[in-house]
Structure 1
């Protein structure tokens, strides 16, 4: 039987909120990653998803999340990362921050959608 995990998009106002909501819905002990790489790893299995991979994820009220996880959230996250990244990456990160400030480039919401599509294609839908 297919397990269905429901994400409450009204509760998602930042990536930190997303990790908390997805952890509550899908995680083992409330954990389902605290960054994009860990989230992708968790989707691959072993951290709350059924071992047979038979599950679906439904993101309800996704429009609220889409608005909250826009360019401002990209800026917030990249500004945090730039402080700890390798110096050779700082210039490209500054460029990404400037693009986001101009309202261009990917949003944090798009980052998450891409991870869902890469890791669990066909098992995810927006409502």
Structure 2
């Protein structure tokens, strides 16, 4: 849980530690403590994670250049891999509303057939969709 401004590249450096979590609730806790330091708001969904990456209400401003370093990313790749993703989708299906069960079943089927994304891959895609954030998997 550290951030600083590096003089050589003018980007704020933010570090997420894969060793601090082993599941999605833990990931949300980690990014909440790192990205939302000093606020009352906590991340609890993929959409919420995407929202905070726009900046403006956490530790960085809208469109500010950020270097996001994900330490122990290989551990996270394993922790948030196939099994965790299958459980994530299955829990939503079991819960039912307000979730779109057909869409989630489709995503689960794609995962099982080897075509779908794991939670780790979804998180990477979300981060990389923000052009002001440079992701470094460590």
Check whether the contact 1:23–1:30 (CA below 8 A) recurs between aligned residues: no
CA gap of 1:33–1:8, structure 2 versus 1, over 3 A, is same
Q: Secondary structure at the match of 2:136?
A: strand
Structure ranking higher on relative contact order (CA contacts 8 Å, 6+ apart): 1
User: Which 10-residue stretch deviates more, 112-121 or 56-65?
Assistant: 112-121
1:79 aligns with 2:90: yes
Number of equivalenced pairs = 126
Judging by fraction of residues, say which structure has more helix.
1
Instruction: Give the TM-score taking structure 1 as reference length.
Output: 0.82
CA distance in 1, matches of 2:132, 2:96: 32
1:111 aligns with 2:111: no
1:95 aligns with 2:106: yes
Which blocks of at least 5 consecutive residues in structure 1 are unaligned?
A: none
Q: Deviations over 1:3-23 (max 9, x none)?
A: 211111122311111111111
CA distance in 1, matches of 2:101, 2:33: 34
CA distance in 2, matches of 1:30, 1:126: 28
Q: Deviations over 1:46-100 (max 9, x none)?
A: 231322613221001100000010111112221222223458x323322322343
Instruction: Give the TM-score taking structure 2 as reference length.
Output: 0.77
